Amino acid sequence: MTDSTVDGASAPGGAHRTAGPGDGLGEDHRGAGRWTTRQWLVVGVSTALAVLLGLLALGVWSLTRTSDITGRLVDVHSPALIEAERLEAALLNQETGVRGYGLSGQKEFLAPWERGLADEETAAKRLRSLVRGDSRALADLAAVESAAGAWQQRFARPVADSPVPEAADTTTAEGKRLFDAVRAASDAQQEHLQDVRSSARDALDRAALLRNAVLGAIAVLVVLLALLAFEGVRRGITEPLARLRAQARTVAAGRFDQPVDTAGPADLRALGADVEAMRRRLVDELKAAEESRRLLDEQTADLQRSNAELEQFAYVASHDLQEPLRKVSSFTQLLQRRYGGQLDDRADQYIGFAVDGANRMQTLINDLLDFSRVGRVHNQQNTVDLEAVADNVLESLSVTVEETGAVITRDKLPTVLGDRTQLGMLLQNLVSNAIKFRAPDTPPRIRIEAERDGDRWRLAVSDNGIGIDPDFADKIFVIFQRLHTKDAYPGNGIGLAMCKKVVEFHGGAIALDPEHRPGSRFTFTLPVHTPTTPDADGDADGEATS
């Protein structure tokens, strides 16, 4: 894997130390760095698996060989030697029985002879089965059987079959000579089988040594592979990631001029390039944000100056303009009362125009003052019971309600957080507009609705009046915008603009419902302040009629 180093800190002056020739990142290493982490892992794992599989095959062979040698030693060589010894014991039993019978002449001494014959046959059969693949062992077995047969035929059987055995010395000497040949053949056989078993033991020791060596080599190789994998991961993945993490933390700490680069596999270097591109994008965005903030500061300063001028205008309108306007209005009304009817009709008309204009000017100034005070003067954020606010509004409009025969119903209104005065102005404007713009010869029917909609209250004021064309849904909320002449419906065109300002000041939105027929329906939202009981979650639990 490629070699890489981690810079713990930047060079003096903010310059980041890049990898040089001494950092183990020469051209050859960089060429190898074209491989991705996945490719390195595939090559490394494949190589390790190939070596492990080779050693595993060698280990399996050594284990199999050890098992085979052990099996032959346990199942063939040792049992063959044991059967050869049993064969010799059977022949010795035969010789003992014949010799005892020949000396004593008593038949009971022939029992070992007869048992020896059966044991001889059994041992020879088993031994022949065990050494059937060993020609030398088969030849030794044949020699033992030949010598035993000669002894049995020429000496043992005649003695055992004779009713009165002969006790001549020549016969005894002949039997001894023949049985010595049997002994010699049996000793040769057992010596050969002992040599075979010793050779098998030596082979088993060598196989066990090879097996242990192979298993030890596998263990050492596993340890070496683990160390190589650890070192490869450290050099090719951990160190480049640590370097990238350190650089990213430096950038995150505010040093956006710190370049980001990394070594290692191709995908890690690509990740470093992406982080560097993100850093450059952040630098560009910060420059744009700084410029936007500078412009915003300038605009804020301009807005503050404008607000100061507006407050100054409000002060002038409330103090300096009100006094001369009251004088104009008072004297024109006095002139109308004193000289009305004494001049010609045109003079009376002119005096009427002056009085009406002064009154409308005073009303307009008062409305403008109220509009400018929304969010500036009336700004007390308290818990407001809209039920009580609605009661006060309907009480103040009781005369108009009685004169027009209006019927006003409402749902149970919630408690919200806001300014009581402004919310009262909101409801009063909407209800008074609903009464003002009523249909001819039809008593106004007005309904105030409230329902819970998630984290907001959705309220509405609807009527059966003349309605509003949906094309003017946005225009009606602009200050001084009117859809009718002053003669048809009096007013200054400030009411709905003030409603919009109050609702937006409380964090909500107001709109005209274009689907409502007949009449008009204004909906507005207010944020929910505290959890309410199920009786006040927006259901129409009760109605109040005025």
Q: What is the pLDDT of residue 372?
A: 59
For position 363, what pLDDT does the model report?
Answer: 63
State residue 29's pLDDT score. Answer: 43
Residue 93 clears pLDDT 80, i.e. is over it: yes
Mean pLDDT score of the chain? 76
Q: What are the backbone angles phi and psi of residue 33, rounded to the nearest 5°?
A: -70, -5
- Is the pLDDT at 377 greater than 80, yes or no? no
DSSP state of 430: H
Cα separation of 156 and 169, whole Å? 15
- Work out the pLDDT band at 362, boundaries 50, 70, 90: low
Distance between CA atoms of residues 139 and 142, nearest Å: 5
- Alpha carbon dihedral 525, 530, 533, 539, in 10-degree steps, equals 0
Distance of CA 114 to the CA centre of its chain: 89
d(CA 277, CA 261): 10
Residue 300 has pLDDT above 70, yes or no: yes
pTM of the model: 0.40
Residue 297 pLDDT > 80: yes
Reply yes or no on whether the pLDDT at 82 is more than 80. Answer: yes
Lowest mean pLDDT segment, chosen from 49-58, 252-261, 346-355: 346-355
Taking a C-beta distance cutoff of 8 angstroms, is the pair 15, 21 a contact?
no
Bridge partners for 521 per DSSP: 462
Provide the pLDDT for residue 369: 62
43 Cβ contact partners less than 8 Å away, ≥ 6 residues apart: 35
Confidence of residue 508 (pLDDT cuts 50, 70, 90): confident
* pLDDT, tens only, 303-328: 878 767 766 666 666 566 666 767 77
Residue range 373-389: mean pLDDT, rounded: 71
Tracing tokens 């098992």 back to the chain, one arrives at 67
366 by Cβ neighbours in 10 Å (0-12 / 13-18 / 19+) ranks as: middle
What domains can you pick out in the chain, each with its CATH number? 379-545 (3.30.565.10)
Strand 445-453 to 407-410 pairing: parallel
109-134: per-residue pLDDT in tens?
788 888 888 888 898 888 888 888 88
CA dihedral 94, 99, 100, 103 (to 10 degrees): 160
Cα end-to-end distance, the chain, whole Å: 87
The encoded tokens of residue 6 equal 């981690």
